[in-house]
Amino acid sequence: MRYERLLGWAALLVLVLFALAPVRAQPADAVRGEYLVYAAGCINCHTDKADKGPFLAGGRAIASPYGNFYSSNITPDVETGIGAWSDTDFTRALRHGESPSGRTYYPAFPYASYSAMRRQDMLDIKAYLFAQTPVRRENRSHELRFPFSWRFSIYPWRWLFFSSTEDAPDVGTERGSYLVEVLGHCAECHTPRNIAGGLKRGKHLAGTRYGPDGHSVPNITPDSETGIGGWSEADLVFFFKTGLKPDGDDVQGSMRETIEDGLSHLTAQDLAAIAAYLKAQPAIRHAVRATRLPPAATSFDEW
C-alpha cells in the first residue's frame, strides 16, 4: 500500500518536472514543413512544370518587366542545390534575402514577405526540402535587361523598401494575416509596384496590370465594383479549394498554380482564415484593365 502511494508521488514528480523543464527548440518537422511549403507556394516557382522539370529543381522562368528570372535548384543536391546549406544559411536567405556567400537575391524571390516568417517554420520547411530527392541540375542565369542584369541594381530597392531583423516582426500574429501577408505572399502579385519595384502601400492588394508573365492581376480588396465585394467568404474558400469562381469561370495563369500546388492543400480552417482576412481589409476602388501585355512592355501606365 505504502509502496503504491510512493509510486504515485514519483509519477507526479516526473510530471511536474516535465512541465517545468525549459522549453527547448523543437526538432525540425518535415511533415509540418510540407504543409508550410504548400502555404508558401515554393513548389510552383521552383518546379519547371512546363518543361516537365524535376520537383523543386528550379529553372522555371518567371517573366517580369525587368526580364526573365529563373528560379534556383532547392533540392538537397550538394553541388547544384542547397544540400550543403546550414540552418543559418537557409534562414538568412528567407529572412534577409542573402546567399551563404553574401550575394543579395532579386526580389523575384519573394523574401520581402517571407522575411517575417517564424524561425521554426523556416526550419520545418528546410527539413521537408532536405527530405526530397537531390537532383543534379545547374542553375540557369537570369536574362535581365540592363541595368537590372547588374546585381547591384537591387540595392536601391533594398534601401527603400526592404528591412529585416533577426526576430520575425509582429506581422501575422493572427492566422489569416500570417497566411496572406507572410506565407502566401499574395501582395507580391496582387499589389501594384512603383518605378523602383516597391509595393504601393496605398494600393495594398488592389490589383495590377503588370502581374507575372504579362497578365493582369485582379483587385482582391472588398470593393463592391472593382474588387471581391460581391464574393462571400464561402465563395472565396470554394475558389481556393477548386479554382472555380462564383460566376462559374475557372482560374487561369499564375493563380491556377498558386491554387493547384498551394492553397488547395490547406485545411478548411486556414482557407476560412484567409477569406475572413481579405474581407476585413479596407476596400480600395481600383479598376484593373484585363488586357494581355506584350512580353516586353516598355511603358508602364501605372507609374
Would you tell me which residues interact with ligand HEC (CB under 6 A)? 40-42, 45-46, 62, 69, 71-72, 74, 82, 93, 99, 105-106, 108-110, 114, 125, 180, 184-186, 188-190, 211-212, 215, 217-218, 220, 228, 236, 239, 245, 251-255, 258, 274, 278
Closer to ligand HEC by Cβ: residue 112 or 186: 186
Taking alpha carbons only, the member of 217, 242, 245, 231 closest to residue 276 is 231
The CB-of-11 to ligand HEC minimum distance in angstroms stands at: 43
Closer to ligand HEC by Cβ: residue 112 or 217: 217
Closer to ligand HEC by Cβ: residue 27 or 102: 102
Integer angstrom CA distances of residue 48 from 52, 66, 88, 99:
6, 20, 27, 22
CA distance 55 to 49: 8
The CB-of-106 to ligand HEC minimum distance in angstroms stands at: 4
The CB-of-165 to ligand HEC minimum distance in angstroms stands at: 19
The answer to whether residues 80 and 140 touch, using CB atoms and an 8 Å cutoff, is no
The CB-of-300 to ligand HEC minimum distance in angstroms stands at: 17
Taking alpha carbons only, the member of 143, 119, 136 closest to residue 56 is 136
**Per the structure block, which three cell numbers stand in for 58?**
528550379
CA distance 133 to 139: 17
Closer to ligand HEC by Cβ: residue 123 or 189: 189
The CB-of-38 to ligand HEC minimum distance in angstroms stands at: 10
Question: Exposed/middle/buried for 197, CB within 10 Å: 0-12, 13-18, 19+?
Answer: buried
CA distance 68 to 175: 33
The CB-of-45 to ligand HEC minimum distance in angstroms stands at: 3
Closer to ligand HEC by Cβ: residue 72 or 115: 72
Closer to ligand HEC by Cβ: residue 15 or 300: 300
Closer to ligand HEC by Cβ: residue 252 or 269: 252
CA distance 283 to 285: 7
The answer to whether residues 3 and 227 touch, using CB atoms and an 8 Å cutoff, is no
Angle formed by the axes of helices 119-130 and 87-96, nearest 10°:
120
The CB-of-149 to ligand HEC minimum distance in angstroms stands at: 12
